[in-house]
Chains A and B, each alone.
Chain A
Amino acid sequence: MKSNEVKLIREDGRRLDGRAFDELRPLKIEVGVLEKCDGSAYVELGKTKVYAAVFGPREVHPKHLALADRAILNCRYHMASFSVDERKPLGMTRREIELSKVIREALESVVFLEEFPRTCIDVYIEVIQADGGTRTAGITAGSLALAEAGIPMIDLVAGVAVGKINGHLVLDISDIEDKYGEADMPVAMAPRLNSIVLLQLNGRLTGEEFKNALELAKKGIMEIYQQQREALRRKYSGISAEEV
């Protein structure tokens, strides 16, 4: 499916949108953007735009589904119909169901679920525009929403998709690079633990390329992680020890 026919690298050695191989798209992160949930975040990476909201911990209904020793983490990754080039039909596609699962598992890896037995925590990720890297942007937003909701966790998690286009490894692939490139590899990490929480590959890489791609992803993730932390600090700036 992946072809090498479409030129994704310009004469000047830059990518179609003018980026260097190891460059992220412009990143904008905001925390606490929605009011009616317990925590929320908005992440914009180029034209990829994602909201995340967290509810909970709250009671599980029906009660018999509750777990005696920990909380259940639910996750729904969903795209707006107009977020993609071809209108997405309403309802959950197979792709959205799969991504909901891998995102949930990525977030579960860092949340102290055992602190809230018999409850559930819901993470809702809404992609309002998709231009590549939506699941990783969803994880980046989802982990911030969890943090804002006051859910204890080992670390924030951040993600980015790396890929191979016209034989070159590149960071943060856009939709067109995903479509016509040779490989797409979304990666999410808990940087503090230096551990992977999500890893998928769609395409072909040599062992050497994989190693380099992972390094490239890590570089991007560290940049995103920095900005995540800054966004949280911004949200709580002006907070002082006064009378606490």
Chain B
Amino acid sequence: MPLYFSEKEIVLPGQLLSDNGRRSGEGTYVLDGKVYAAVIGLATIKNEKVCVIPLKGVYNPQVGDKVIGIIAEVKPNGYEVSLGKHLFATVKIPDKREVQAMNFKIGDVIYGVVKESGLRGVFLETGDKLKKITSGLLIMIHPSKIPRLIGRRGSMINMLKKETGCELIIGKNGYIVIRGDNPLGEFAALSAIKLIEREAHSQGLTERVGKLIKKIMQGAVS
């Protein structure tokens, strides 16, 4: 069964990937029994399927995803939460008194878990799984770059935390909260995250990120 790409090769929309239409996976489509790429990304095989991992794309919420959102609307039976870009999630709380007790206001930042995602919309878990984030530097990066920010088994994110001394809260939807005691550390974390976003898939990134953080922490860069 011939494949027309090498593993993790960059492919473009319309590029032929395979002659076997039954192997069409995420980020691909079938035309005349053949598999083509639908988005720009890295071609790979996942569970026997030909897939394209998008380099950029919209965030598609999955059940269990941890997300960061901003309260956009307060309703008698819950909240509407902006997850960035076009995406909104609903927090449904049947008990009015509970809504009053939570007392979230428009503009508050919350950390939540996706409970349901489908045609009816996106819903977040309630109770202990919904927390307010009260301080920190909120930034948004492209959601597709989040896995790279975390790195293999958390290698990148752990390095960031260790070197900058900051706490980092990551939402799968692309929002990140940086919280540290010293502004220099926060700048270092912010600059490092921006570098990772910009050069997510380039070689030697971990090393460059490490260097950048050291440079900033030593005050070489303002």
Contact = CB atoms under 8 A, between A and B. Distances in A.
Interface of A: 38-39, 56-59, 112, 116-117, 119, 147-156, 190-193, 229, 232-233, 236, 238-244
B168 interface: no
Contact of B14 (A57, A154, A241): A154
A120 to B, nearest CB: 8
Contacts of B203: 238, 240, 242
Interface in B1-23: 7-8, 10, 12-14
Interface residues of B, number: 40
Contact of A155 (B14, B88, B199): B14
Interface of B: 7-8, 10, 12-14, 27, 29, 31, 36, 38-40, 42, 53-58, 85-88, 119, 144, 147-148, 151-152, 155-156, 199-206
B39 A236 contact: no
B205 A150 contact: no
A228 to B, nearest CB: 9
A156 B14 contact: yes
Contact of A244 (B8, B14, B58, B204): B8
Given A150-B39, A150-B57, A59 B88 contact: yes
Given A119-B86, A156-B12, A192-B14, 11 more contacts: A147-B39, A148-B40, A148-B56, A150-B39, A154-B38, A238-B199, A242-B202, A243-B156, A243-B205, A244-B42, A244-B53
Contacts of A155: 13-14
Nearest to A243: B152
- Would you list the 8 A-B pairs with minimal beta carbon distance, nearest first? A58-B86, A241-B8, A150-B57, A155-B14, A239-B201, A152-B38, A150-B56, A192-B14
A244 B202 contact: no
Contacts of B88: 59
Nearest to B155: A243
Interface centre among B13, B29, B42, B203 (most CB of A within 10 A): B13
A119 B29 CA distance: 21
Contacts of B55: 150, 236, 239
Contacts of A193: 31
